[in-house]
Amino acid sequence: MAETLFHCDDVLWRRFEMICRERDETPGAVLRDLVRLEVQRCERRKARSAEGIDERLLVRLRLLVAEALAVSESWGDLQRALEERALKFTPAGGGLVLTDLATGETLAKSSQVGPPYMALVRRFGTGFPGHPQPGIAAQALARPCPLAPARRTGFPVRPDRRPPMTQTLALNDTRSIPQLGFGLWQVPAATTAETTATALKLGYRLVDGAAIYGNEEGQGEGIRRSGLPREQVFVTTKVWNSEQGFDRTLHAAEASLKRLGLAHVDLLLIHWPCPRKDLYLDSWRALIRLREEGRATSIGVSNFQEPQLTRIIGETGITPVLNQVEINPRLQQPALRAFHAKHGIVTQSWTPLGQGKSFDAAPVQAAARRAGKSPAQVILRWHIQLGASVIPRSTREAGLKENLDLFDFALTEAEMAAIATLDEGQRCGPDPARFEMD
């Protein structure tokens, strides 16, 4: 198991250049897709490794490491990303040891002279154990211009020039979601179609709506006005609290599809758990049915906490692809994000700017001055580098453009660490443990 984890990743590394060019995706996204395909193959043949270790566990480890690599700019970033996934790399015996932080168990080892280890060295360099020379990411960040061309092999240098519609996150059902989208909360129904069409023409490809927003008709009309093929637009909607329960959820989903004028949505969410109603499990079973019927391509939840997530996964065996929760510098929810990472659930951030409460914070202001960006852009970039999907809202074309302009700069490790200190557990929205409004 020890060497297989790293050596298999090295084989995948060699395929990155060709596959990334063909799909116009990051190597991290490609690796996650390849790993998920391997998960399916392993489950079909119920394979076990030569050492008697369940190969599905092996693949899961590869996936967790790949997810951490995909959001890391430096060795320090990688360590923090791994720790969020209850993992840790430690230099030992001239190589690296991957440890389970929950149990202290050694999961994998890699020889320092092995190609996978050297691939990590080539990527990070500075701060990497035993290798003081500047790494690719460090060199790029040190240049006067923050943009750098992709390497001929291995991971492309971040930041990159790829348009935001090509930045995707892999879902645990083998599909993917645009990392950056825009939300329709509080967008007036009368202007929703125009706002949606404008956003899509600017480059957004993820439109996040909900039945309770009262503007699903405009959401669907805006998609049609954009002129884009339906398969190029990722559409999300949500089932409201008053419609929870198996049959009511099925009817609510059909009503949303009718208002949207669509045959299916790409992602259907339960909007809030409403734990005192205790109907979210029945609603989740209804979403599973809707996915089976092709009315929702992927299914997930919103505002669920660890107890509700654990219950629906345990009762149905189906893990949500995504949990849309409040995340911003004042409410970072690291424990919930770690649970998501452990179970392959994408974190999606609502109210990502935290109503502007962190705009004047020293770490945000310092990063904005250094990068020549607005505080809002710095915070949205922070979400991107956390590996979250993020759905800011704006009704102004200038605001929509500003929120897209996140991919020609990167926050440094020090800036990410400084923003991490702003967490106060301070909510802008309701507490999911108590919110039950119909």
pLDDT in tens, 95-137: 567 777 766 776 666 543 344 444 555 455 444 444 434 333 3
Residues 187, 147 share a domain: no
Nearest to 31 by CA among 1, 67, 57: 67
Q: Is residue 264 part of a domain?
A: yes
- Residues 79, 218, single domain; the answer is no
Sign of the CA dihedral with 422 first, then 427, 428, and 432 last: positive
Residue that is written with structure tokens 């566990």 in the block: 57
**Where does a domain end: 135, 158, 181?**
158
The reported pLDDT for the residue numbered 239 is 98
On whether both 407 and 302 belong to a single domain, the answer is yes
How many domains does the chain contain in total? 2
Residues 304 and 327 placed together within one structural domain of the fold: yes
Residues 116 and 179 in one domain: no
For residues 127 and 201, membership in a common domain is answered with no
What's the pLDDT tens digit per position in 52-100? 444 455 555 666 666 666 666 666 677 777 777 677 776 655 456 777 7
104: left (phi over 0), alpha (psi -120 to 50) or beta: left
Write a three-state SS string for 362-396.
Answer: HHHHHHHHHHCCCHHHHHHHHHHHHCCEECCCCCC
Residue 180 is part of a domain; what is its CATH number?
A: 3.20.20.100
Question: Residue 287 falls within a domain, yes or no?
Answer: yes
pTM > 0.75: yes or no: no
State the residue range of the domain holding 115.
Answer: 2-158
Express each pLDDT in 359-415 by its tens digit: 999 999 999 999 999 999 999 999 999 999 999 999 999 999 999 999 889 999 999
Give the span between the Cα atoms of 264 and 273, in whole angstroms.
23
* Angle ∠(332,156,368) on CA atoms, nearest 5: 45
Same domain, 254 and 125: no
Contact 268, 243 (CB under 8 A): no
158, 177, 212 — which closes off a domain? 158
Residue 213 annotated among the catalytic residues of the structure: yes
Cα 169 to Cα 312: distance, rounded to the nearest angstrom:
23
pLDDT digits (tens, 9 = 90+) for 226-272: 999 999 999 999 999 999 999 999 999 999 999 999 999 999 999 99
Cα distance from N-terminal residue to C-terminal residue, the chain: 51
Instruction: State residue 99's pLDDT score.
Output: 74
DSSP structural state of residue 208: E
